[in-house]
Chains A and B, each alone.
Chain A
Amino acid sequence: MSNTKFSKEHEWITLDGEVGTIGITKHATEMLGDIVFAELPEKGSNVEKDGTAGVVESTKAASDVYTPVSGEVVEINQSIVDDPSKINADPEGGAWFFKLKLKDKSELDTLMNKEEYDKFAKESSS
C-alpha cells in the first residue's frame, strides 16, 4: 500500500495510471461497527473532492462516504452493496467502493501517507 494515500475523512485511494481506487479505512470500519448497508455513486457520474460519494450504515448510525479527489466514476463495487459485511472483513482490499478517473492528480498531494494517517487516526480516536 506504499502508493496509497489517505484522507481525514478516513478514505483511502490507490492510483493506477489515471484511475484511482477508493475505499474506507480499517480504522473507519472499527469506529463504525458492523456495516449493514452501503450506497455507491452512479457509474458515469462526476464527483468533487471532499463531496459526498456514498453512504455506509452500521447497526448504530449512517455515515457519509466522501471522495478524497475529484473525477468521473468509472467502476463501482456492487459486491459490497449486495453483502455490506465484506466492508468490515476486508476494507482496504476486496471491499473497495468505487474507481475514479482523476480530474486533477495534484489533489493527491493534499492527502496523507500511511504513516501520517496512522498517527492522525490514533490521535483522532483518543
Chain B
Amino acid sequence: MNIKKTALYELHRKHNAKFVEFAGYSMPIQYSEGIVKEHNITRNKSGIFDVSHMGQLFIKYSNDITDKLQEILPTDLKNLKINQSKYSFLMKENGGIYDDLIITRMKDKYMIILNAACKQNDLQIIKNKLNDQNLDMNNNLSLVAIQGPESKTILENVVSNVSKLKFMNGENFSFKNNEIFITRSGYTGEDGFEISLPNKVAISFVEELISKGSTLIGLGARDTLRLEAGLCLYGHDINENTSPVEANLKWAISKNRINDNFIGSHQIKKQIKEGVSKLRVGIKPETRVIARESTKIFDEKDNEIGKVTSGTFGPSVNASIAMGYISNSHSKKDTKVYLEVRGKKVPANVCDLPFYKKSYVKGEANV
C-alpha cells in the first residue's frame, strides 16, 4: 500500500519527527522532546497538531440535505446555527458506531470532519444517503489544531480577531489572502482551535505559529491528552459494537430527536428506556501499573466484568489511567475492581471522567 503524507510532512521531518503509519498516513508520533514533554507543553503553553489525515467533507446546504442528514445523524441540524459545530455519529441499525464526527453548519454548506481510518466508508454511507455519487472529501485542505492555554494569544498574533470565537463555533478568516475556516474546538481537554486551510499555505501557517511560541506535538501526546480528558478514540473506546448510550455519549444525541427516526434510533430509544448491560467508565489503578487496551476487568469475586479499551500513564494527573466497558452493575463511581496485568490482579477504582479537568472557553454547557 502506498503510504500517504500530509502537506506538513516535510516540516515534521525538519523538526525531527519520529513517524508511524496511522490509518494509511505517515504521521509524527513524537518529535525530539518526547511524549511527556510534549504533553506538558500542550497543558501549560501551546501545542500544534497536524490532523490533516482526517477527512474534510463539504456538502452544499439545503433544507432537503438537512432532512437527509438527519436520517443518518442523531443531531438536531434544523436548529444548528450558522457557524455552530456539534459532535455526532454515524450509526448502524443496531446502534453500533461507524464513526464519530464533528459537523459544522457553515453559511452555504455543512462541513463534516471524519476520522482518517473511517473516512472512505463514511463517505460511501453519506453518498448513498444523499444519492450523490460525486460527493468527495476536499483533499486540497489541511487541518491543524492548536491547543493549550497560550494558544488563543499565539493564534491571535497570526489571525486577528480569532479569540472572539466561542467554544464549538467557527468562522471564516484569512491567511496570506487565502480563506481559512477556524473553529474553537479540539481533542485535548484544553482551550484551542482547529484550522482548515489550503495545503499550499499549511507549512507557512504552522511556521508562523511556531515563531509566535507554539510547538509541534505528535500523536503520542495527543493520545495521553485525550485520554486524560476522557475523550474516546474511535476503533478503541467506540466501534461498531458499542452504541452511544453504552459509550456514555448520550449527551451528543439531541434531546428533541430521541423520538425521531434516524439510523440506529430504534436501538437508542430502547437502550435509553431499558438501560444497557455495559457502560464506558473511567478506571484508576491504585498503583502505577498501566492497564493497556484489552486488559480484563474482574470484580471482587473474580468474575470477569469488562475490558479496558484505552490505558496509559497520564502525565498531568501523575497516575495510571484507563477507560473501558464494565457491566452496568459495577459501573458506579468508587466501585472496586481488579485489572489483570501480566497475570497479577491490580486493584483499581471506577471513577468519573475526565481524569483531568477541562478548561474550555464557555459558549454552551453541552458540546
Contact = CB atoms under 8 A, between A and B. Distances in A.
Partners in one complex: yes
Interface of A: 33-34, 36-37, 39, 55, 57-62, 81, 84-85
Contacts of A36: 36, 288, 290, 313, 315
Contact of B313 (A39, A57, A81): A57
Interface in B315-351: 315, 320, 342
Interface class of chain B by DSSP: mixed
Given A57-B313, A60-B220, A62-B292, A34 B342 contact: no
Given A33-B34, A37-B320, A59 B224 contact: yes
B258 interface: no
Range, interface on chain B: 10 to 19
B308 to A, nearest CB: 13
Contacts, number: 40
14 contacts: A33-B34, A33-B220, A34-B37, A36-B36, A36-B290, A37-B290, A37-B313, A39-B289, A57-B290, A59-B35, A59-B36, A62-B290, A81-B288, A85-B36
B290 A34 contact: no
Interface of B: 29-30, 34-37, 220, 223-224, 288-290, 292, 312-313, 315, 320, 342
A57 B312 CA distance: 9
A122 B309 CA distance: 35
A66 B342 CA distance: 15
Given A37-B313, A59-B220, A62-B290, 19 more contacts: A33-B30, A33-B34, A33-B35, A33-B220, A36-B36, A36-B315, A37-B288, A37-B290, A59-B35, A59-B36, A59-B223, A59-B312, A59-B315, A60-B29, A60-B35, A60-B220, A61-B292, A62-B292, A85-B36
A81 B289 CA distance: 10
A34 B292 CA distance: 16
Contacts of A84: 288
Given A59-B313, A60-B220, A34 B34 contact: yes
Which of B30, B223, B313 has its CB near the most chain A CB atoms (within 10 A)?
B313
B288 A34 contact: no
A105 to B, nearest CB: 31
Given A55-B342, A59-B35, A59-B312, A37 B220 contact: no
A107 B292 CA distance: 35
Nearest to A85: B36
A34 B30 CA distance: 11
Contacts of A62: 290, 292
Contacts of B342: 55
Contacts of B313: 36-37, 57, 59
A45 to B, nearest CB: 15
B43 to A, nearest CB: 14
Contacts of A81: 288
A58 B342 CA distance: 16
A58 B290 CA distance: 9
A34 B289 contact: no
B224 to A, nearest CB: 6
A81 B288 CA distance: 9
A37 B36 contact: no
Contacts of B320: 37
A57 B224 CA distance: 14
Contacts of B35: 33-34, 58-60
Contacts of B292: 61-62
A39 B224 CA distance: 21
The 4 closest A-B pairs by CB, nearest first: A36-B313, A34-B36, A59-B35, A37-B288
A59 B33 CA distance: 13
B210 to A, nearest CB: 22
A49 B288 CA distance: 27
A37 to B, nearest CB: 5
A59 B39 CA distance: 11
A31 B206 CA distance: 28
